[in-house]
């Protein structure tokens, strides 16, 4: 079964490699020619995927990258892994899926399987995507071609999370569509979890990410409540997680980041309105989580105040730009919100992140484009009025930080194992 994977990002690339290593010939397709060129030169553009592994799969002949969608004629299955962001009104933007659908439709042939993996609201596969595929090809889903949804469960930066061993939920437009999709994924994934429809599979992914968003909001709220009571929420969570049943630890932070947790629940909120339903839990969690940067900035202000300094004019180093530890992905990172807020209040802001050496141009953070990470250097670090730990990469030497920095605001409990001076570290 030669398979095309469209969208060679954080999801599509590891998936392509898993198939390629398991005997499925993969044609990787992306509109970003820089990514295609990089892969064809054996170079990776994702930190946790090495260039050696790119070279290895390229040399095996089981994978090649291209921007030529007419090559879809060569394959019997297409998997779509393109972005599903929110637009500026925080509504789902499925235009990437629809554009991809149009590109595929022109070359769709009888008997082909199309699977969507991008996170989205229930109905996207069997309504929106089906429509563009049918109109563009003149073929009928479930009769002439197969259609399915299978949500991605990528956990970037987690070395124990490998595509092949994470159970994969699969829902088909018809039972035959589901069977075809199960057959394809079985080649690379150990455990397949078939469900009765595309919509159930779509809803499953939204449940998983909403569950995270709500639980993170809960601990974020408790962080503020317990802090007012002079109780350390981190110690509370460490104690609670010794309970062997009925509890699962979630950790507070400076706000949500990444391409999934801050976004996906709002896909459900939007779709629910069509059915006259309200997603109050999601809204409340969103409210709490988005208020976190303000809470953190208040703590920064308090910490500076204690040293008779104002936020305005103070120099602040934000440590960690990526949205979570040990990755190079800084999309939707709360660090940006913090930098923005501190900058607007008159602070002089710099950042340190070993995985994000320079800020790339983006629509959302245009004026930070080109800003470079500072060096990890004693004199330089000591020159800041305050260091704000936003992301706790494992590679950072926190003991050195404790020795060099005068004042540290820690949103991740990164300083827990270091020896520090009284009043030096403020949890936030």
Ligand X SMILES: NC(=O)c1ccc[n+]([C@@H]2O[C@H](COP(=O)([O-])OP(=O)(O)OC[C@H]3O[C@@H](n4cnc5c(N)ncnc54)[C@H](O)[C@@H]3O)[C@@H](O)[C@H]2O)c1
Strand 315-319 relative to strand 348-352, pairing: parallel
To ligand X, the closest distance from the beta carbon of 155 in angstroms equals 7
Of 20, 24, 57, 82, the one binding ligand X (CB under 6 A) is: 82
Q: Specify the stretch interacting with ligand X by CB under 6 A; choose among 30-38, 233-241, 362-370, 397-405.
A: 30-38
Residue 351 makes CB contacts below 8 A (sequence gap 6+) with 317, 318, 319, 320, 321, 335, 339, 371, 373, 374
Q: Which is nearer to ligand X, 74 or 302 (CB)?
A: 74
Of 24, 75, 77, 84, the one binding ligand X (CB under 6 A) is: 84
| CA pair distance 389, 178, nearest whole angstrom | 46
To ligand X, the closest distance from the beta carbon of 410 in angstroms equals 25
Q: How many residues bind ligand X (CB under 6 A)?
A: 26
To ligand X, the closest distance from the beta carbon of 398 in angstroms equals 26
Of 3, 4, 7, 319, the one binding ligand X (CB under 6 A) is: 7
Closest CA to 260 of 212, 327, 328: 212
DSSP per-residue codes, 371-406: -BPPP--HHHHHTSSEEEE-S--TTS-HHHHHHH-S
152 binds ligand X (CB under 6 A): yes
Instruction: Report the DSSP beta bridge partners of residue 4.
Output: 27, 78
339 binds ligand X (CB under 6 A): no
259 binds ligand X (CB under 6 A): yes
| CA pair distance 2, 230, nearest whole angstrom | 59
Of 4, 17, 28, 30, the one binding ligand X (CB under 6 A) is: 30
| CA pair distance 296, 337, nearest whole angstrom | 11
| CA pair distance 218, 212, nearest whole angstrom | 10
Of 6, 72, 206, 415, the one binding ligand X (CB under 6 A) is: 6
Q: Which residue has the CB atom at the shortest distance from ligand X?
A: 9
31 binds ligand X (CB under 6 A): yes
To ligand X, the closest distance from the beta carbon of 34 in angstroms equals 9
| CA pair distance 27, 15, nearest whole angstrom | 12
DSSP, res 422:
T
Q: Specify the stretch interacting with ligand X by CB under 6 A; choose among 1-9, 138-146, 214-222, 285-293.
A: 1-9
11 binds ligand X (CB under 6 A): yes
Of 1, 38, 53, 96, the one binding ligand X (CB under 6 A) is: 96
Closest CA to 282 of 256, 252, 249: 256
To ligand X, the closest distance from the beta carbon of 325 in angstroms equals 14
364 binds ligand X (CB under 6 A): no
To ligand X, the closest distance from the beta carbon of 13 in angstroms equals 8
Residue 133 makes CB contacts below 8 A (sequence gap 6+) with 101, 104, 105, 108, 114, 139, 141, 145, 147
Residue 340 makes CB contacts below 8 A (sequence gap 6+) with 365
81 is catalytic: no
Q: Which is nearer to ligand X, 53 or 424 (CB)?
A: 53
12 binds ligand X (CB under 6 A): yes
Computed over its alpha carbons, how large is the radius of gyration of the chain?
Answer: 23
Q: Are 169 and 199 in contact (CB under 8 A)?
A: no
156 binds ligand X (CB under 6 A): yes
262 binds ligand X (CB under 6 A): no
Q: Which is nearer to ligand X, 81 or 233 (CB)?
A: 81
3-state SS assignment for residue 294: helix
Q: Are 276 and 129 in contact (CB under 8 A)?
A: no
Closest CA to 304 of 417, 384, 421: 384
Of 81, 129, 181, 388, the one binding ligand X (CB under 6 A) is: 81
Q: Specify the stretch interacting with ligand X by CB under 6 A; choose among 130-138, 152-160, 227-235, 294-302.
A: 152-160
To ligand X, the closest distance from the beta carbon of 272 in angstroms equals 18
Which residues are catalytically annotated? 260
User: Using CB under 6 A as the criterion, which residues of the chain lie in contact with ligand X when the complex forms?
Assistant: 6-12, 29-32, 35, 81-84, 96, 99-100, 118-119, 152, 154, 156, 259-260
């Amino acid at each position: 079964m030669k398979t095309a994977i469209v969208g060679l990002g954080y999801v599509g690339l590891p998936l392509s490699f898993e198939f390629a290593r398991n005997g499925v010939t993969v044609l990787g397709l992306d509109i970003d020619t820089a990514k295609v060129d990089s892969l064809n030169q054996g170079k990776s553009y994702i930190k946790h995927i090495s260039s050696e592994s790119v070279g290895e799969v390229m040399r095996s002949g089981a994978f090649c990258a291209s921007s030529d969608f007419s090559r879809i004629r060569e394959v019997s299955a297409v998997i779509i892994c393109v972005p599903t962001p929110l637009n500026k009104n925080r509504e789902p933007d499925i235009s990437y899926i629809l554009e991809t659908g149009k590109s595929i439709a022109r070359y769709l042939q009888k008997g082909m399987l199309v699977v969507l993996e991008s996170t989205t609201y229930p109905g996207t596969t069997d309504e929106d995507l089906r429509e563009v595929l049918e109109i563009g090809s003149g073929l009928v889903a479930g009769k002439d071609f197969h259609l399915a949804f299978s949500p991605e469960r990528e956990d970037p930066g987690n070395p124990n999370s490998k595509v092949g061993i994470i159970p994969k939920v699969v829902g088909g437009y018809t039972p035959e569509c589901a069977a075809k999709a199960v057959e394809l994924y079985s080649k690379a994934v150990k455990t397949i979890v078939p469900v009765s429809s595309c919509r159930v599979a779509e809803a499953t992914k939204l449940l998983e990410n909403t569950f995270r968003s709500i639980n993170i909001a809960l601990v974020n709220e408790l962080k503020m409540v317990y802090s007012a009571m002079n109780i350390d929420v981190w110690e509370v969570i460490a104690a609670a997680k010794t309970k062997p049943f009925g509890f699962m630890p979630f950790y507070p932070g400076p706000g949500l980041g990444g391409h999934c947790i801050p976004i996906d629940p709002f896909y459900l909120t939007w779709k629910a309105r069509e059915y006259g339903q309200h997603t109050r839990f999601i809204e409340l969690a969103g409210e709490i989580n988005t208020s976190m940067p303000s809470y953190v900035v208040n703590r920064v202000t308090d910490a500076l105040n204690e040293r008779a300094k104002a936020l305005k004019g103070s120099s602040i180093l934000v440590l960690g730009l990526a949205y979570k530890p040990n990755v190079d992905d800084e999309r939707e990172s709360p660090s940006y919100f913090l930098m923005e807020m501190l900058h607007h209040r008159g602070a002089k802001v710099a950042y340190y992140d070993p995985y994000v050496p320079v800020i790339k141009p983006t629509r959302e953070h245009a004026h930070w484009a080109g800003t470079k990470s500072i060096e990890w250097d004693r004199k330089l670090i000591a020159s800041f009025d305050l260091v704000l730990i936003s992301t706790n990469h494992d590679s950072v030497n926190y003991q050195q930080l404790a020795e060099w920095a005068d004042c540290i605001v820690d949103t991740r409990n990164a300083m827990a194992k270091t020896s520090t001076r009284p009043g030096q570290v403020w949890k936030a």
